[in-house]
Structures are given as structure tokens and as C-alpha cells.
Structure 1
Amino acid sequence: MARWVGALVGYLLFRLPGALLGFFLGSLIDSMGRKEGSVFQDFGRARVSPQDFELHLISLCSIVIKADGKVTQQELDYVRRYFLSTYGREKANAIFRTFNEVVKKREVSAEKICSHLAQRTRYEVRLQLVHFLFGIAGADGRVSPAEVEKLLEIARYLRIGPRDFESIKAMFFESADTAYTILEIERTATDEEVKKAYRNMAKKYHPDRVNTQDEAIRKGAEEKFKQVQKAYEQIQRDRGL
């Protein structure tokens, strides 16, 4: 983009020689921008460095794990497996040492962290972040009421809509209406409304919409997409569609 702006300005000032010089300088600016983009993960309106995102993710993990007043080995193992699969053993061990320090010693502000992320990430990324945190809460076999309350608080700070939160929550709580809740519709919805809801949800949660290098968020998107498909298939079977 900068190359064409530079060419136009250069032409207006110095005609053809100016246009050529402006195009060249603009190309350098575009090139610098691309290099900068390789250093920072682009999560939306602003860029978040991988280091900052890792720190925020660690902090939110610690908040969820401590929400019910106890830290289980299953929850810690869930986080460890994520770091190992994402960063490799050496970096994962360093990150996990920081994580242990955050879990055991520090009190962190969910509101401050989430407000920062809400201003700098796309909505699709924040949805997958909530899904990942639900996965941590459920790693010990159940998501406790205290954990649900804390996750709801985090979702509000991340500016996640109530229906989207309930859709994610439904993936971790089985009920007669789970499939409908995941698709964000009522059991009384018509067949056409069910099909429309599935198309909308499949579009919203398609992994390509996330467009992030973070493994936890990417895997969360894939899992959420599978759950949407599973919910639709279940309703199809129940209705004989």
C-alpha cells in the first residue's frame, strides 16, 4: 500500500522521477511492515507479541485453576501437555516454571488481563481462549460451579456475548438440550432455522477464521468446529433430517 501512496505523492511533486522514487521508498516501508509482522502475532486491531500473549495465557490459566480453591494434578498436567506440544521441552520447562510461580505465589487481575486482550484480539480468538480455559477447568473430570463463575467473569471481561458463552459451556455439560445450546437455538426451532444456525456457527467457528500461530487457540478452534458439526448431526438424527 505504501508504495502506491509514495508513487502518487512523488508524481505530484516531481512527476515521473518522483513517482519512481516514491514507489521505491514505499516498497521499503511495506517490506519493513512485513518483517515486523513476522515478529508479532496479529490477533486483530493491534498486535500482541508472543511473549505477552504467553504471559497473559499463563495468568488466566492460573486464575481458572485456583478458582475452586484447589489445584489438581490433572489441571497442571493439562497445562503442561499444552506447553510441551506447543513450544518443545526446553522452552516449555522455562514457561512452566513461570506458570508454577504464578499459580502458587501471585495474585493476578483477570479484569486487567482480559481488558488488555479485548482491545487487541479478534472476537474469534477470544472465543477460543474461553474454550481452552474451559478445557483446563474440566481436566479433572468436572467443571465446578466456582470455576464456571470465574469463567463467566473472564468471558465478560473479554466481551464475549452470553449466548456464545453458553454455547461453549454446553460442550462441557451434557443435557437434553446440549446440541441446541451449542448451535445457539431453542429446541422449538424449525428445521430451516436449525440449518441456518449450523451454517452461521460453522462459519463463525471455522479454524481458518482464527488465523493465529498459538497452538492452544488453533486446537480450540478445531475442537469447537467439531462440536458444532457433532451437535448438528445429532439434531439431524433426532429429527430424521
Structure 2
Amino acid sequence: MNFFRTLFAGGLGWVLGGPIGAIIGMGASALFSSDTGDESYSRTEPRRQAGGDYLVSLLVLIAAVMKADNKVKRSELDYVKTFLRQTFGEAKAKESLILLKDILKQNIPINDVCHQINRHINREARMQMIHLLFGLALADGHISKEEESLIFKIALQFNLTNQEYISIKSMFIQDSNWAYKVLEIEQNATDQDVHKAFKKMAIKYHPDKVADQGEDIVKAANKKFQKLNEAYQTIKKERNL
């Protein structure tokens, strides 16, 4: 069980209970209960705790999407490995993959898991999760119907609007209007509306919105912010602005 100590040295809190706690195993829960005690879950260190809780929750959702089409592909594992390394560093990535392999063996009650996440993770951080899940689903160059259906279901459970879901989806599945969909506007929007929409979305998707989840998650959120800027620049180029 030593790898749990390395992986979640920042602390765990609410994920040790409920469906997520059951998925990661009673052994891990018992370990952290004895290591940290009740006082470690006080509100004095929210960012340290949030990072571990967020990562565990994300791993559970990642496993659910990987299993959606009943095929755990090598391309998906490679994508997850690269993402974890780039976001959390080599040590955490290695230990996260060990935990992920165990989670993949479990039955994942997705509605219950989403409900638990909703109670503890803010809306902006949940949107970031949807963005990461789309990247995973596209790892093999194609998003299956089963994967997209599950991600849509998770987005609904996370209380995202249809427009917000389409905005994130369009960052990965690009049609002729993808840039407008990312900015949540129509193609016939005025130049002024385009500029206003970008400013609004820049505030909405700014990495600072997930700062309470730790620096690792902020780093991942930067990619979504870059995609937003790419959409804006695409429209500006089309319109010669």
C-alpha cells in the first residue's frame, strides 16, 4: 500500500467515503484513516486535499470512459499515461496508473459517482473533467458512440448546459462551425458579439477558476484555454478582423 502514500501525499478527504471510496478499495480508505486522522480533513488546507480528491475522481471517470465500448485500448492507456506525466509528474503518473488498473476491474456506478463529485467539486472544475474525458476518448483518433454517450451523460449529471457541452465537444470534434460553437454563439453573430463572447468565455474558462484544485489541474486547464483562444483567432482570421 506504500504507493498510495506517494500518490496522495497531498491528502484525501471526501473521496474516501461514498461510491468512490468503495471503488478505490477499503484497504486504501483504512490506510488514510490511520495515517491522517479526522483533523487532516479540516478546512485549513483545502488546496492540498482537493488535488488528491480531484485526481482520484478523475481516474474513476477515466476508467468509466475507457470501458464504455468494452475495449480498453493501448492508445487510451498511452494517452492517459502521457496526460498524467505532463500534468502530475513521473512519480504520480506511475502510481496513478497502478490505481487506474485496479479501478478498471471495478463496477462503476456512474450516477452515484457523479453525484458525489457534484457535492464537492465546483462547476468549473467539473467542466475541466469533461474536457479531459473528450481528449481521452479521441486518443485513438475516433470517439465511439458509446464513449460520447457516456461523456454526455456525465455532463448532464454535472449540470452542464447543452451549449456548454457542445462548446467543449467542439474543441475536439471540429466541423465548419466549430469555432462559433466553442464560443457558444451563432455563425451570424456580429463582430462585436464575437468579441464579447470571447471575453465572456475567457472569464468562464480561465485556469484560475480551478485554482482550488491545485497547480496540476491549473496546468491542464491551460490547454482548454488555449483551445478557446484558437477558436477566437480562427473566427478573426475568417472575418479579417
TM interval, shorter chain, is 0.7 to 0.9
Residues 175-214 of structure 1 mapped to structure 2, 5 A cutoff? 175-211=175-211, 212-213=213-214
Q: Please give the alpha-carbon distance, in whole angstroms, between the structure 2 residues aligned to 1:75 and 1:162.
A: 26
Q: Please give the alpha-carbon distance, in whole angstroms, between the structure 2 residues aligned to 1:82 and 1:166.
A: 23
Q: Please give the alpha-carbon distance, in whole angstroms, between the structure 1 residues aligned to 2:42 and 2:60.
A: 30
- Structure 1 residue 98, shift from structure 2 partner: 1.9
Q: Please give the alpha-carbon distance, in whole angstroms, between the structure 1 residues aligned to 2:233 and 2:49.
A: 39
Gaps of 5+ in 1: 1-31, 42-49
TM-score normalized by structure 1? 0.76
2:45 to 11, 23, 36: 36
Shifted more, 87-96 versus 183-192: the winner is 87-96
Q: Evaluate the alpha carbon distance shift between residue 51 and residue 174 of structure 1 in structure 2; reply closer, same or farther with a 3 A threshold.
A: closer
Residues 146-225 of structure 1 mapped to structure 2, 5 A cutoff? 146-211=146-211, 212-213=213-214, 215=216, 217-225=217-225
Correspondence for 2:228? 228
Q: Please give the alpha-carbon distance, in whole angstroms, between the structure 2 residues aligned to 1:199 and 1:90.
A: 37
- Structure 1 residue 228, shift from structure 2 partner: 1.2
Letter in 2 for 1:112: D
Q: Please give the alpha-carbon distance, in whole angstroms, between the structure 1 residues aligned to 2:205 and 2:43.
A: 27
Q: Evaluate the alpha carbon distance shift between residue 230 and residue 93 of structure 1 in structure 2; reply closer, same or farther with a 3 A threshold.
A: closer
Correspondence for 1:77? 78
- Structure 1 residue 92, shift from structure 2 partner: 3.3
Q: Please give the alpha-carbon distance, in whole angstroms, between the structure 2 residues aligned to 1:139 and 1:176.
A: 22
- Structure 1 residue 224, shift from structure 2 partner: 1.4
Q: Evaluate the alpha carbon distance shift between residue 88 and residue 170 of structure 1 in structure 2; reply closer, same or farther with a 3 A threshold.
A: closer
TM-score normalized by structure 2? 0.76
> Which 4+ runs in 1 deviate beyond 6 A?
none
- SS of the residue 1:140 aligns to: coil
- 2:52 corresponds to 1:54: no
Q: Please give the alpha-carbon distance, in whole angstroms, between the structure 2 residues aligned to 1:214 and 1:135.
A: 20
Larger RCO (CA under 8 A, 6+ residues apart): 2
| Count of matched residue pairs | 200
Gaps of 5+ in 2: 1-40
Identity of aligned residues (%): 36
Letter in 2 for 1:40: Q
Give CA-to-partner distance per residue, 1:192-233, whole Å, 9 cap, x none. Answer: 111111110011111122212162x32332111111111111
Residues 92-131 of structure 1 mapped to structure 2, 5 A cutoff? 92-103=93-104, 105-131=105-131
Q: Please give the alpha-carbon distance, in whole angstroms, between the structure 2 residues aligned to 1:227 and 1:176.
A: 16
Give CA-to-partner distance per residue, 1:31-58, whole Å, 9 cap, x none. Answer: x9774336422xxxxxxxx443332221
| Partners of 1:129 and 1:220 within 8 A in 2 | no
| Partners of 2:205 and 2:225 within 8 A in 1 | yes
Q: Please give the alpha-carbon distance, in whole angstroms, between the structure 1 residues aligned to 2:234 and 2:92.
A: 41
Give CA-to-partner distance per residue, 1:8-50, whole Å, 9 cap, x none. Answer: xxxxxxxxxxxxxxxxxxxxxxxx9774336422xxxxxxxx4
- SS of the residue 2:107 aligns to: coil
Correspondence for 2:68? 67
CA-atom RMSD in angstroms = 2.0
